[in-house]
Each structure stands twice: as structure tokens, then as C-alpha cells.
Chains A and B, each alone.
Chain A
Amino acid sequence: MIPCRYFSVQTQQAEESQVHATLPSGQSYDLRITDKTIKKIRSLMQKDPSKKYLKIFVDSGGCSGFQYNFKMVNGLTEGETEVVFKRDGAEILVDETTLEFIGGSTIDFKAEMIKQGFEVIANPNAEVGCSCGTSFSLKEK
């Protein structure tokens, strides 16, 4: 059994595809990853080949309680259960706790004149939070 990493099946759609991962605990999660995200991760990998993964993590902060954070990392973190979502040569790393918050979301790269950056959109676990999109609060279950 491979520790800490789980890749899985992908279903191709028009401009995004769904990547599915099952954890050893039996929990399974989906992430939708857009083509623009893949393209951006690839170009970041070319710029700095030592950092291969886009890591998504949730922090407390922002105006709605939690906020999404992104960074490029060179590998898995010791002692953490992390899931690798792989698509078309780009890899996204999400730790288990974060996955509980963002499972089912779409990861997008938004390029506007005023701002360019990664975004988590259509998060089924979050209330519509801050309008800036980086901060959210959890839905009451």
C-alpha cells in the first residue's frame, strides 16, 4: 500500500475535469480542476522545476472565518496525510483536513486585469462568504 498518496480516475469535461481520490479511511473526495489551473501550474513548474506541486490549504482568517491559501511546494510534508490530485502532468496537493473543507470544489485560475490568482470556487461546504472569494465560512450541517 502506498502511504500518503492516492491518485485516481479523471473524467474529462469541456474546460475542466473531475479528479477523484479515495483515502484509506474509505472517505472519497472529488476536485474539479480547470484547464487554466493546469496551464498555470505547468508554467510555474517550468519557471522553478524544484517546486512541482500546487498546495492548497485552509487557514483561519479573512472576513468570513476561513481562507484559502495556495503555494508551490517541492514535495509532501512529513507526518501529514496528503492527497495528490493529478491531471495532465500537473499535481495538486491537498492535506486531509483541508480536503474536508474543499472536497467537491472547483480549482480555477482567474486572470483579470486587476488580479490574477488561483481560486477555489463552487465549494459545496461553504456558505457564500466574502465577495473577494478568498474567505469563506462553513455551512451548518
Chain B
Amino acid sequence: MGNIKLELKEKIIEQLNLEDMTVDEIADKDPLFGEGLGLDSIDALELIVMLDKDYGIKLADPKEGKKIFESIETMAAYITEHGKK
């Protein structure tokens, strides 16, 4: 699980072009949207594509995303349970 969290931080920084950010600056429980990392709606779509491409997870209900993408911790837990790659 620890490895997935680190991997997710690296992927998020790279794929969402968070150039001025390092993995050390993202805490596992930081909110990804709003006050935390400040991600926006387009970033949310990128995260959905990332789940599909890198972990074989297709989100059938976009509303699910709200809970899954709360933080690195919630994402890692979901991937551990549902990941196919």
C-alpha cells in the first residue's frame, strides 16, 4: 500500500503537470481538490483515465470519484481493492 501511495504521488505530479510540487509535499491525507492540491474538474477526468490506463479500473458511476479521489490514501485503498493490473 505504501508503494502505491508513492507511485500515485509520482503519477499525479507527472500527469497533472504539478511542476512546482514534490512527492514529499503531498501528505497521504491531503485533500486532492479544493484547499489541498487545488486540482480542478479537468484533473478529475485525468485521474479517471489514469485509473483505467494504469490500474484497469473503469469507474461506472462518476459520482464514485468524489469519494475515491478524496486523498492519496482513499485512492490507494480503492486501487488495492479493485485494481486489475
Q: Do A and B bind?
A: no
A residues apposed to B, CB below 8 Å = none
B residues apposed to A, CB below 8 Å = none
